[in-house]
Chain A
Amino acid sequence: MNKIKTIVRKEWAEVFKNRMVLFSVIFLPLFLSVLPLIILYSMGGSAANSANADLPAQFQQFCKTNMNAGQCMQYYIVSEFLIMFMLIPLFIPVNIASYSIVGEKTTRSLEPLLATPISTSELLAGKNLASVIPAIIATWIGFAIFAIGTLIITGGSALASALLDPMWLIAVFIAGPLMAVLSVNFSIMVSSRVNDPRVAEQLSAVIILPLLAVFFGQIAGLFILNSTLILIMCIVLLLVDVLMVYLAVRLFQRETILTRWK
């Protein structure tokens, strides 16, 4: 455990010295938390005049009985941002994790690191946690800002309680971390197979595509995210995460990484 902690400390000390990385960790969650609040605030008057008929049919069932048409419209618009809170933990760690192995290769620090009695599992656990923890913390802080802002703007109405229902909580507190683990392990796999940090970052960013597809699918009205869908997503994510962790350890071939790197 001490070795894992050491790797985490080392990664953070290195990563957060880079202001751009720090900026990406802070700015994105902040932006995606404040944006729905601005929409919520600006819709305050106009939404009240909307009718439930303007909403997609699948969504109307989610509108609580104590919501008026305007609140229901606000709820719909802001719900579109739910997926953003799953995108944050997917996106933030890519920056850190994609550099984690290839960065050690370029600075030639990988060989002395692998010469220590650290196991591959310990090394990758340290690299994982160093990327996953900031992503989760940033997401949760972003969500806290969003939740508090929502309560203030809506005055604790039915809309506020709807936005803080189990679906949102599962999405943010379970699906989010699972997304982060997925993203980090994918990035680590890429990072250990390539020799250029830029290539690592570009390839790792591919992991965002499936979630973006979900995002646009929802906007296009192809489906509406609900608790059941999110729960199914969590179960699938859990299984994929287990597979990804297994693959990341299996694909981290010390010998190949050392001897192919020039």
Chain B
Amino acid sequence: MIKTDNLSKKFNTTLAVDNLNLEVSEGEVFGFLGPNGAGKTTTVRMLTSLIGPTTGSAIVNGFQIGKQDTEIRRSVGILTETPGMYDNLSAEFNLEIYANLYEVKDPKGQVEKYLRMLGLWDRRMDAAGTFSKGMKQKLAIARALLHEPRILFLDEPTAALDPEAAHLVHDFITELQKEGRTIFLCTHNLDEADRLCDRVGVFKSHLLVLDTPANLRSQLFGRRVVFHLARADESIASSIKLLPFVREAKVIENKLLVSLEDPEIHNPEIIRTLVGAGADIQFVGELRHSLEDVYLELVKNA
């Protein structure tokens, strides 16, 4: 669906995007993460044919950027960083304008479909300027979907939204994913990326890593299991350290923290060893690193 080949963009002396190589498959939700000014929006603008690359190339939905720009614009939907609605015009008219510009066959029908789907039908005659941020964002999402694009570029879709509005947008993205659409999601919200994305790429002018959130966590930090014991001491930790698959074991208060590769396979043996050593196990759980930990670690070292 999306394939870039050494895609680069330079503004005067600033290299905004440096040799980006990535591939996003059909139906995938791809999270594009990076700090402010990392070049995420520039990348989205190149992939939606709003601006051209300095060097390199990209294929979007089978069309080449720079050569088939109109076809690309026709076949992708974009939610820009700010909704950019015409505030004096009604919600319905705003969408009708875009339905016509996207050459939608049944503009009125499509406008009604998405206004209803996003719960804005009752407010269709109200000026977009009277809408809350969340409603404007929903209207902008509807605008991006009017022509039923197979690829959607969402640039910070939940930025500045309250938790309830953000939750609605997340649910909607999940629905779109179920429909088999490819979603290219630029976000600062790492929980959002963790929840929604099949794979994420951490980007700072160039791609730092590209993998599933779970794999990234595992690669950077390994996996850790915490055993809550009635009483923990160093002798118990020592007995666990003897197990060949245990990387590290340490006691913090009455908790035993064990680093290992594959908890699903090795946890039973640890539990048997602990019981054999006379430990009373109260709870067992995985100590998860958030995607934020992964992100911060990567960006810090970039």
Contact = CB atoms under 8 A, between A and B. Distances in A.
Contact of A14 (B11, B51, B86): B86
Interface in A92-143: 107-119
A116 B77 CA distance: 9
Contact of B98 (A108, A112, A114): A112
Nearest to A14: B88
Contacts, number: 74
A13 interface: yes
A17 B73 contact: no
Contact of B86 (A109, A114, A116, A117): A109
A259 B51 contact: yes
Given A254-B51, A255-B52, A258-B50, A111 B97 contact: no
Interface stretch (A2-10, A167-175, A185-193): A2-10
A111 B89 contact: no
B231 to A, nearest CB: 61
On chain B, which size bracket covers the interface?
20 to 34
A241 B179 CA distance: 50
Interface in A215-262: 254-255, 258-259
B143 interface: yes
A3 B99 CA distance: 10
B140 interface: yes
A109 B84 contact: yes
Interface stretch (B100-108, B167-175, B289-297): B100-108
B193 interface: no
Contact of B82 (A5, A108, A113, A255): A108
Interface in B65-104: 70-71, 73-74, 78, 80, 82-89, 93, 97-98, 100-103
B211 to A, nearest CB: 29
B103 A117 contact: yes
Nearest to B83: A108
Nearest to A15: B88
A109 B101 CA distance: 14
Given A107-B86, A109-B84, A110-B84, A115 B103 contact: no
B98 A13 contact: no
Nearest to B146: A116
Contacts of A258: 45, 50-51
Given A6-B97, A107-B84, A259-B11, A112 B140 contact: yes
Interface residues of A, number: 26
A151 B71 CA distance: 58
Contact of B87 (A5, A107, A118): A107
B4 interface: no
A17 B89 CA distance: 9
A3 B93 contact: no
Nearest to B140: A112
Contacts of A259: 11, 45, 51
B74 to A, nearest CB: 4
B100 A2 contact: yes
A34 to B, nearest CB: 31
A255 B51 contact: yes
Interface string A1-45: 011011001100110010000000000000000000000000000
Contacts of A117: 70-71, 73-74, 101-103
A7 to B, nearest CB: 8
Contact of A114 (B11, B50, B103): B50
B86 A112 contact: no
Nearest to B48: A115
Instruction: Name which of A2, A108, A111, A114 has the most chain B CB atoms within 10 A of its CB.
Output: A111
Interface of B: 11, 45, 48, 50-52, 70-71, 73-74, 78, 80, 82-89, 93, 97-98, 100-103, 140, 143
17 contacts: A2-B100, A6-B97, A6-B101, A10-B86, A13-B86, A14-B89, A17-B88, A108-B80, A111-B84, A113-B101, A115-B73, A117-B71, A117-B73, A117-B74, A119-B70, A255-B50, A258-B50
5 nearest interchain CB pairs?
A: A108-B84, A116-B101, A6-B100, A109-B84, A117-B74
Given A9-B97, A117-B103, 10 more contacts: A14-B88, A14-B89, A108-B84, A109-B86, A115-B73, A117-B73, A254-B50, A255-B52, A258-B45, A258-B51
